[in-house]
């Protein structure tokens, strides 16, 4: 068990700074589930979302045996929660609707860098009533980030089966930067999420191609997927490819730091195995 996991287990066993009146919680979507499952006592959790056990839910094993609820207002209100935690569940009007009925809503917000993740964790931990557990998660994240920045500078191109990549100003860009990778999709100053131009890929020579969701767990990957195009397949053959666990990158959370550490470890192993130098494409 790693240091972060051990500290979190200790916090769970000892109460982790919980208030005496910790709220009874419902989470409305699988991103909210991650925060609730990591920070709340099991007996605080009235229900998690119907997606809590899906493959893209990082803490799906902790959701086993917990009640599930749709994000429909009538289903949530029937549970009489003190707090509703959401990322996108319930729609944009959820906060106002539940507030009119006297139910507190905690909106997780959105992060595009690790500073924002720290803020999200602390806010959620305070709302759920366990601020110490938030600090444990942040300490775990800091340890992963420190380990991720341990290797030579490399160029990396991120892509999904649909041919989408992440430029600057995204959490994927922050993940790649944390692992000391130059984000090849941001070289031209491109920001945000965008489709990879097939003609541009012909000349791309990144040291690494970082992929996610090619396992088909979240969406089918078949012969019609853009990722099956010969240009993409040629890029895979010319570069070292590292596949991320989609559950680690589906939501803005501390799991992205663990993903950065893992891809750095895989990259270092690939460098050793192939003896390629930074700036050279893998054979």
**pLDDT block averages, 10 residues each, the chain of length 283:** 46 46 95 98 97 93 96 95 95 88 94 97 98 98 97 92 89 97 89 79 76 68 55 72 91 96 94 65 45
60 and 178 belong to one structural domain: no
Q: What's the CATH number where 82 sits?
A: 3.40.50.1980
- Domain extent, residue 245, equals 152-274
Q: How many domains does the chain have?
A: 2
Which of 143, 168, 185 marks a domain boundary? 143
Tens-digit pLDDT profile for residues 168-186: 999 999 999 999 999 999 9
84 and 192 belong to one structural domain: no
Q: Is residue 185 part of a domain?
A: yes
Q: Is residue 211 part of a domain?
A: yes
137 and 167 belong to one structural domain: no
pLDDT score at 19:
47
Residue 135 has which token pair?
């600090």
11 and 65 belong to one structural domain: yes
Nearest by Cα to 90 from 50, 38, 34, 36: 50
pLDDT score at 271:
86
109 and 54 belong to one structural domain: yes
Which of 110, 143, 176 marks a domain boundary? 143
Q: Is residue 37 part of a domain?
A: yes
Residues pairing with 105 in the sheet: 84
Are 101 and 43 spatial neighbours (Cβ–Cβ below 8 Å)?
no
Q: Is residue 162 part of a domain?
A: yes
Are 52 and 37 spatial neighbours (Cβ–Cβ below 8 Å)?
yes
Helix axes 114-128 and 171-178, enclosed angle (nearest 10): 110
167 and 71 belong to one structural domain: no
89 and 12 belong to one structural domain: yes
Which of 143, 175, 202 marks a domain boundary? 143
213 and 259 belong to one structural domain: yes
Q: Is residue 99 part of a domain?
A: yes
pLDDT score at 252:
95
Give the span between the Cα atoms of 206 and 279, in whole angstroms: 7
183 and 157 belong to one structural domain: yes
Side by side, the strands of the sheet bearing 181-183 are 181-183, 154-159, 208-212, 240-244
133 and 178 belong to one structural domain: no
Are 180 and 212 spatial neighbours (Cβ–Cβ below 8 Å)?
no
Q: Is residue 18 part of a domain?
A: yes
177 and 87 belong to one structural domain: no
Q: Is residue 280 part of a domain?
A: no
pLDDT score at 20:
57
Q: Is residue 283 part of a domain?
A: no
64 and 162 belong to one structural domain: no
């Amino acid at each position: 068990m790693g240091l972060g996991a051990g500290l979190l287990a200790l916090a769970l066993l000892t109460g982790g700074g919980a208030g005496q009146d910790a709220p009874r919680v419902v989470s409305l979507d699988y991103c909210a589930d991650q925060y609730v499952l990591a920070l709340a006592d099991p007996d605080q959790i009235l229900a998690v979302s119907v997606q809590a056990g899906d493959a893209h839910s990082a803490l799906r094993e902790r959701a086993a045996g917990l009640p599930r609820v749709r994000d429909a207002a009538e289903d949530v209100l029937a549970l009489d929660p003190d707090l509703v935690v959401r990322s996108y569940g319930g729609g944009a009007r959820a906060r106002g609707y539940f507030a009119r009925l006297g139910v507190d809503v905690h909106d997780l917000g959105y992060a595009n860098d690790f500073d924002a993740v720290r803020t999200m964790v602390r806010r959620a931990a305070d709302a759920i009533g366990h601020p110490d557990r938030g600090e444990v998660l942040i300490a775990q994240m800091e340890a992963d980030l420190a380990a991720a920045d341990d290797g030579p500078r490399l160029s990396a191109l991120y892509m999904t089966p649909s041919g989408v990549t992440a430029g600057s100003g995204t959490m994927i860009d922050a993940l790649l930067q944390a692992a000391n990778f130059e984000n090849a999709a941001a070289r031209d100053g491109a920001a945000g999420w965008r489709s990879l131009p097939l003609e541009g890929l012909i000349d791309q020579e990144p040291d690494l191609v970082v992929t996610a969701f090619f396992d088909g767990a979240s969406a089918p990957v078949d012969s019609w997927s853009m990722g099956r195009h010969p240009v993409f397949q040629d890029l895979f053959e010319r570069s070292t490819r590292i596949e991320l666990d989609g559950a680690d990158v589906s939501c803005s959370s501390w799991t992205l730091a663990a993903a950065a550490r893992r891809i750095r470890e895989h990259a270092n192993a690939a460098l050793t195995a192939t003896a390629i130098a930074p700036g050279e494409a893998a054979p």
